[in-house]
Structure 1
Amino acid sequence: MEDGSCNYCRTNVADDNNEIASFDENFEEIIGNIKNKQSYDCLLCYSGGKDSTYTLYLLKEKYKLNVLTYTFDNGFLSDYAKKNIQKVTSNLNVDNIIFQPRFDVMKNVFRACILPNDFFSHAAVKRASAICNSCINFVKYNSLKLALEKKIPMIVFGWDPGQISKKSAIVKLPPDFLLASQKTFTDKLVGAVGDDIYNYFITKDEMQHHISDIPYYINPLYFNDYNMDNINKVLSELGWEKPSDTDANSTNCLLNSLANYFHEKQYGYNPYIQDASQLIRKGMISREAALNKMKNGYCLEMVSANAEKLGVNELL
């Protein structure tokens, strides 16, 4: 640490531009094989935030895909995000499905995530809070259920380059792995939520029925330019507006402050720190900008309001 650099930075290997380009070529090849063969070319998990909005722009304008956007409303979707979803999908002429599970189910899920638990691996909670991980799992498997029903050949996510590794940029996962991974999550939560949890996930019979329709998982921001000045310019042209009702680390979710608060309380650090650190190493954000986001990891007013909504005030 003599020069102020940690072991991660000292051992960091710069991105290979040729390797990055090869991912784009691979994606273009997949597009050539699947385009216009189903009602939609891909299903985008669309939160209305800046990264998924920019991803939607790339899918529509760069790759010329027919996109179905899927929005998971966990009961805490920002009103600004809802307006952005409506404006952007309208301006880009794409369809949108908003799925909102029963609030009593999600409330029990979030309450269980706040309490000490072993729902997620150490690696998972290093990158995201337990609350965020729970929503990620709902989105991942509920979108798979929808993609299989509609025979959509690709599911796309808007993770930024600091949130994913190259092995996740383009992947098609085996059905048995998907079912086992899903079961790990649902079996741990069933005690807190009850059997209602299974309504939102794919069954083994459904998976077997669609065994030939398993989609690719694509994360285009890994192999596309991630320059915030360019991204903000595109977002502005699409009519997207930065929300004023979320914290510094989210542009779509009102619950993020509470999730960050309890994560920091339990682990002692902001769950976005690994993402921010990787973006710094890639030269995509400045250290100062990242530190500012970490210092403003949650809004106490939002923490209090959402703790009351979930009935967990006594845990603050």
Structure 2
Amino acid sequence: MQPYRICANCIMDTSDSKITFDSRGWCDYCNNYHSNILPHWHPDERGMRELEPVLEQIRRHGKGRDHDCLIGISGGVDSSYVTYLAKAKFNLRPLLFHVDAGWNSQQAVNNIEKLVDGLGVDLHTEVVDWQEMRDLQLAFFKAAVPHLDTPQDHAFFAGLYNFAAKHGFKYILTGANYSTECVREPLEWHYHASDLRQLKDIHRRFGTRSLKTFPTADILKFKLYYRYVKGVQVVKPLNHVPYFKEAAMQELVDKYGWQKYAHKHYESRFTRFYEGYWLPTKFGYDKRRAHFSSLILTGQMSREEALAKIAVPAYDEETLAQDFEYIATKLGLTVPQLRELMAAPNKTYRDYANSMTIMELGTRVLRALGVQRAIIR
């Protein structure tokens, strides 16, 4: 284990065990941003010129259909802003797709409703069977892994892509972006939610009921069958326009009565607990380091501001106590039982069956073919 060290440029540190530093004290995330992301990222007029032919293809594809594209919406700022751009700026006719996995906050529900009403767009909601979701969620708690949010994340992406393929959607617009996500979270902090093999293995070991309706899609179906057989393409509009998180949220507030939330991903009460308490308390991983470092690199936050924010726990004691009891009760546990799960020996994705070998091989092939740019982590 290397001695503690923090990047001289962002705030990533040795809580990522594989982080490296150059002679300036800059980490590999910062060097990756300047070498592999920034030269190819054009959130300006050039980016819009690159995006416009894609938008025209989407419009042509949608002729004669009720909707021309699909947008997965969580109620968070990224997916909300993409929805706003698609309808109000790009003249598209999106269908919003939301997966209700049982953990929505009031803010998330409000934000989706405000956009649907304000923009006049249609919404399809897929409700995950709670008994199955609860059983799978408990299995991940018992597995004692960092990536506790995998059941929810897998349901989101699998539900979205399965729906797109089934109903003939060729274009999915997502809120993925470099502006707030150019520093990718280390694999040991957040393992691939798309690894169906791991999800099934953890559920086989610790689950108690069959997942008869829970939405699933393995990496081969997602990366190959849906993309190259069904023709489903993913478009990331936020990488082609100026996108500044605080300004985007304020614009949504002013136009639609959208509600702000404390931090990235905290539109889900469960994700707030997982990122704000489970990860930093049990494993020493604070995802805010990656989130704030992305904002530092893209000029939306100073390093000094990030250091001040990271020094304050994500939770105040009163909110933590409320969420701890809420999570335990919703999962059918007592507070002492949830504390026992917190105290169990820590595990990693390597302790369970996984598809890392085939994922790494696939990544190398895609990079060799020029389909995917080499970006670390």
Short-chain TM bin = 0.7 to 0.9
Structure 1 residue 229 displacement after superposition? 4.4
Matching residue's letter, 2:26: N
Matching residue's letter, 1:252: E
Structure number with bigger Rg = 2
Question: Equivalent residue of 1:131, what SS?
Answer: coil
Q: How far apart are the structure 2 equivalents of 1:210 and 1:269?
A: 33
Could you tell me which residue of structure 1 aligns to residue 326 of structure 2? 305
Alignment match of 2:165 (pick from 140, 145, 148): 148
Q: How far apart are the structure 1 equivalents of 2:195 and 2:41?
A: 34
Q: How far apart are the structure 2 equivalents of 1:222 and 1:276?
A: 18
CA contact (8 A) 1:307 1:313 kept: no
CA contact (8 A) 2:266 2:272 kept: no
Matching residue's letter, 1:146: F
Could you tell me which residue of structure 2 aligns to residue 315 of structure 1? 341
Unaligned runs of 5+ in 1: 119-128, 167-180
Is 1:28 the counterpart of 2:52? The answer is yes
Question: Equivalent residue of 2:269, what SS?
Answer: coil
Could you tell me which residue of structure 1 aligns to residue 349 of structure 2? none
Could you tell me which residue of structure 1 aligns to residue 95 of structure 2? 68
> Could you tell me the percent identity over the aligned residues?
21
CA contact (8 A) 1:68 1:95 kept: yes
- Taking a change above 3 Å as real, the CA distance of residues 208 and 7 of structure 1, as seen in their structure-2 partners, is closer
Deviates more, 1:77-86 or 1:202-211: 202-211
Could you tell me which residue of structure 2 aligns to residue 172 of structure 1? none
Question: Equivalent residue of 1:13, what SS?
Answer: helix
Q: How far apart are the structure 2 equivalents of 1:313 and 1:18?
A: 44
CA contact (8 A) 2:72 2:174 kept: yes
- Taking a change above 3 Å as real, the CA distance of residues 291 and 102 of structure 1, as seen in their structure-2 partners, is farther
Superposition pairs of residues 145-224 of structure 1, within 5 angstroms: 145-161=162-178, 164=181, 183-191=196-204, 192-193=206-207, 194-196=209-211, 199-202=214-217, 212-224=229-241
Alignment match of 1:259 (pick from 251, 270, 274): 274
Q: How far apart are the structure 1 equivalents of 2:303 and 2:168?
A: 43
- Taking a change above 3 Å as real, the CA distance of residues 211 and 19 of structure 1, as seen in their structure-2 partners, is closer
Unaligned runs of 5+ in 2: 10-24, 184-193, 343-377
CA contact (8 A) 2:144 2:341 kept: no
How many residue pairs end up in the alignment? Answer: 292
- Taking a change above 3 Å as real, the CA distance of residues 3 and 27 of structure 1, as seen in their structure-2 partners, is closer
Structure 1 residue 143 displacement after superposition? 0.4
Matching residue's letter, 1:68: L
Question: Equivalent residue of 1:89, what SS?
Answer: helix
- Taking a change above 3 Å as real, the CA distance of residues 102 and 288 of structure 1, as seen in their structure-2 partners, is farther
Is 1:101 the counterpart of 2:128? The answer is yes
Could you tell me which residue of structure 2 aligns to residue 92 of structure 1? 119
Matching residue's letter, 2:148: I
After superposition, what is the alpha-carbon deviation per residue over 1:41-95, rounded to whole angstroms, capped at 9, x for unaligned?
2111111122221121111122111111111112110122212211211100101
CA contact (8 A) 1:114 1:262 kept: no
CA contact (8 A) 2:43 2:243 kept: no
Matching residue's letter, 1:269: Y
CA contact (8 A) 2:252 2:258 kept: yes
Q: How far apart are the structure 2 equivalents of 1:16 and 1:230?
A: 24
TM-score, with length taken from structure 2: 0.66
CA contact (8 A) 1:186 1:197 kept: no
